[in-house]
Structure 1
Amino acid sequence: MTLSKQLMALIAALLLLVFLGTFLISVHNTRDYLEKQLESHAQDAATSLGLSISPYLAERDLATITSMTDAIFDRGFYRSIRIEDMQGKPLVDRVLPVQLEGVPEWFIDALPLTTPEGTAALMDGWVQRGQVLVRSHPGYAYRQLWQNIAGMLRWFLVSAAIALLIGVLLLKRVLRPLKSVEGQADAICNREFPILEPLPRTPDIRRIVEAMNRMSAKVRQMLDELERLAAGFRRQAYQHPVTGLANKRFFMDLLVNQIDSTEEFSHGLLCLVQLKDFKRYNDERGYSAGDALLEAAARELEKVSKQWPRSQLAHLAGADFALLVEECADDQVVPLAEQLVAALAGLYATGKLDNPDVGHVGIGWFDGRQSASELLAEADMALRSAQRQGANGWHFSRLDATEVVRVRGAAEWREFIGEAVERDRIRLQYQPVVACGDRQLLHQEVLVRIPQDLENPDHSRLLTAGLFMPQVESLGMAVDIDKAVISRLLRQLRDSADEQTRYAVNLSLQSISTDGFVEWLSGQLAEHRDHASRLIFELPEYGVVSFIDRVTALLGLLAGYGAKLSIDHFGRSFSSLAYLRSLKVDYLKIDGSFMRSIEENSDNQFFVQALAEIAHGLEIVVIAEAVETESVWKILPSLHVDGAQGYFIGRPE
């Protein structure tokens, strides 16, 4: 029961108690008064009648005595009048039966009225000849008592209703700040920190509101400080101090992680960009001018990087930059190289250089087989070849090798993927995500597969998402794949005896940015409402930041069906952590690049722990990706990570 209801119940109880006390006292006093009135009325009548008939009794004039007695009795105010001689023999005896109209029997039984008998002596001189006995009729007294009590009850009910109404209005006004405090507490739990104004006038409630305001401000300050600390550390540990781009350590961890993640990265390009004669530029113009040149180069290269959604730009050291572009096709090498060369030319146009020969670009091809060091060596050789070609040259190096899968053109890929969707050849595999410590299953991540041979799918090799999803996205068919995966998963949940396990499904950014997809998803969740709460939808961090409005709308939709939202590969970008407050996601998956040898990397440990503390303050579950070794698994609980996923935990099945 709420405080307002408790107070209203207390007020009602007090009013009832006061009424009952007043009512009982009033009833008792009224009954005593009426009984005394009945006694006085009977005694007065007996005395008056006795004086009137005494002379006639001495003369034995019974007719006159009877007439005078009847004259009084017929008025109806008396229950009985009896005139008797000294031997008790009745001379006149009149009795009126007690008949009460308009008064309930239960009332008469509950409040009986005594009717005292009035007596008067009949005298003949100094000799008593008899006596008069009179009892008043209680009917009028009962009627008056009933009317008084009924009127009192009506007045109480009306006044109580008015008092309760006024009390409710006053309580609502007085307790309104408490409702606001409740909303403030809920807002704090939802990662919002409002300050209540104006302050209430009631001193006690005012102090409560002031205390809540201080707490809200303090929690906000604590989270802000923790976010600034984590962001500051991330800048110091993973960003180049001059350009603000990812530094060499961050880039190498990311490169190694991506090369090992065949689910996501099957082929792509590594571009090395080097400014020409940067050391001489520093010597001639000073380090301040050199830093300004590096900043300008970083901004020009960022313009290129932003045109490739799945790319990572880094400042390795000195005048060396690197750009990793995932899932880049053969026919995109030349446009990318020309954009990078144009960026170098744009740097000359700023007027910071005297020589139009700004730098060179070396591009290495990743086909899914090289290690990180081999890919770097290949790109470095391409850079050396570009330097031999002349001003602002570029060179592309690709090792001769047989592709892992048969090469298909765009039209052939479109036909293959369309046929796989139409013939329901999409296959799902599942990788467990478990809680740190006890390995309790948190959920299963859904991984998408397509048989290489659609005619014989049960005996064909399965293509991983890293092999076909780049083609799917480039052809604009990601929505078809996402719909097929979600539909198939919901059917499996409907037919499965397991009613507990949750499943995480990756959504393409292309899907959530496509008109009509969210409406379709809403229809699917409504149709499978009983299983919708078991779904977790995952979006990559860079997509969440880029489509913040659409993600917010998606969150509202999922919340209505009990489904959850997770941010995947968190930490790859250097965006502010503040957006987590407004999004209210349920899961945060830390990118696997932070897990590589984390047991030996104190910087990564600090960042992961700080990120976990921030997420827990926002009620977000933190999960580590790419947990491949026991040593990494063992250190996660000390970093306050909630769960883990990776080959050490379990392979896709």
Structure 2
Amino acid sequence: MTISKSYPILLLIIFLGLFAWVYQSENNQLQLQQQQQLASFKTSLTQYQQWQGNGAELFKKLAEHYPFQFFQYVDDTDGSQNYTEGSLDNQDAPPFSSLFLIDLSHTQKLATGRLQVKLSTNQAIEIAISNTSSFGIILIASYLLLLAAFIILMSKQKVAIRYAADYISKIPDLSFSAVASSKLSGELKPIAVSLEECRTQLKTQIDKLNQENEKLHKAAYQDTVTGFATRQRFTQKLETISNPDMPQLGVMAMVKATELAQINQKKGRTAGDDYLVKVAACIRKACSKYPDAECFRVSSADFAVFIPDVMLKDAPKFLELLKSYLDEYVQVTESESVAHIGLVPYQQGTDAVNLLTIADTAVSIAQTLGPNSFHILEKLNSNEQFGDDRWKMTINDLITRRALKFYQQPIQPCRTNVEVYRELLARFYNSEGKFLPTTTVIAMAERHGMSTELDKLVVISALKMLNDNPAISANFGINICAFSAHQDLFIAWLKDMLSKHKHIASRLVFEINESGMQSNLGASHKFVREVHSVGSRVSIERFGMSFTSFKFFSEVRPDYIKLDGSYTSNIDEDSNNKFFVRMMVDVARRLGIRVIATSVERQEEKLTLEKMLVDGLQGYYIAQPQAITTTDQI
């Protein structure tokens, strides 16, 4: 039961109790007074004990001192002396006299008669009723006053509570107006303080959540590395372009950071991210003259730039500017290339898929034109594979011309009795003598089924270089793809070539990616066996990325394993990498397999790996790729 209902009831009970107490006190007092009056009457009768006169005279004498409701004198012998006055039933009783029941009857024998009386209590009862009613009126008035005061206070309290409830109910709507303390004063002051604290804290938390939400929104739609918009925004932009009801015109440039995969593999992802940041900076500077340009990072190595209200004939200005910035970056980094650009026009209603197809073809063509080249393509001339066909022709051309040049990156032995080698890095160039992105050349060769021919070119070129330059006495590693290593015809061809150059074959180490070798352990073992038969050796690169890597130790038995660069990264601090490297070194040592750590970029990594007894170290901290001279010796 609520206090608004229980309080009036409790107050009523208290006042009824007070009234009952007053009534009982008044009744007790009245009873006492009347009993005293009856006792006085009895005492006064002692002087009339020998009364023998008329009853009327006796009544007259007693009535002077006592009021009678009933009086009767009956003489024993003379009936004329009898006298009766009043009645036993009180005909003149005041209202509510029944509340005070008093019996003042008395019968007494006198000398010659009998006296029976009943004293009147009307006056005393009227006084008692008057006193009780007066007090009752006071109680009722007090009750009503207290009840009215309670109702007023409760109404005020209800207003304050309703205000607090309304305030709390508005909190989910994120309404944070200040609390009106005047409406929550007195006993409700703590609620006002609590609500104000709650408001302040919630507002602070909401502000923090809004900031976090902005960060998440930024993370979702802004690339953390480059600061460009993400693929989701790029997709939305394509949807906008494909809308035929939204007039628009412009050009879209696709920029492919073609060296990312090689940088990640050789230098690590940190260097790769730095490379992307620099490419993005070049794009941003080129776009500075186009305030409405929008830049996106579409994938790990692909960027898109939309420049509205630019005609196709004016696009070369932007491309030349971007190429100049990329060329500047090349000079700073001393690398061969940075990125390639394909540019296509767009207008409202342009099909997004077709636009991307043309742009991808334009980038593919640009990659065949040399470092940091660009190509503008308006349409595909009904040949959607134009870009791929261009690559096929380019690869055929460089195989025919044997258009490649070798760079080398040494492997540093960790002990004097360890025999290691130098890795040959093939660089391909087009008919104009401009280098092509190696990763793209290999990928396109695999797409067109020309990887085996490309591997043959690498082997033949390496044999020719070593045969023509006998002063070069080092051992060299040659990269070939796993697909070629699993082909019987290629193995037979390679064995025949090495047999013809046995003095060189013993200096060659064939490097093959572990993931490709894992696909067919039987064919991998056969390749290793045939290569060993002519004196050459085999190295498994990017080793340790598969759960079945240790199966190589027992089934394939290579001469070297080159640990994936992820194991080297921060190995001085990463206990997990230390555990795996230590385990692989232990197993490899028992089987006579040399372990080479790659992507060594810091002195701390070098010292840690040396303590773990690896056999060789390779990475930019040890030596960067460099051109081969005719006097190179190990």
**TM-score, L = length of structure 2:** 0.38
Please say which structure displays the higher CA radius of gyration.
Answer: 2
Q: What TM-score comes out, normalization by structure 1 length?
A: 0.38
